[in-house]
Amino acid sequence: MCLVVPLKVIKQQGGQWLMEDKRRVKSLVGQVKIGDYLICQQDLGIEKISKNKAKLIRDALRQGL
């Protein structure tokens, strides 16, 4: 079973993005910019989501849902 996590982009480094948890990911989605939220699985950004959706997912994970 895989867990995907929404993370905030804080910096671009070469062809990768540095996420708020210091993870470096390659994005599979276009037009990513600093401050965006990506659903990340291992070292891949697989979907760009809104800040509100990221908050909902994070809150659910904290509550164990």
Domain ranges of the chain: 5-63
Length of the chain: 65
Residue 65 has pLDDT above 70, yes or no: no
Q: What is the pLDDT of residues 3-61, one digit of tens each?
A: 788 999 999 988 899 999 999 999 999 899 999 999 999 899 999 999 999 999 999 98
The pLDDT value recorded for residue 3 is 76
The three-class DSSP label of residue 38 is: strand
Contact 16, 58 (CB under 8 A): no
pLDDT at position 39: 95
CATH of domain 5-63: 2.30.30.140
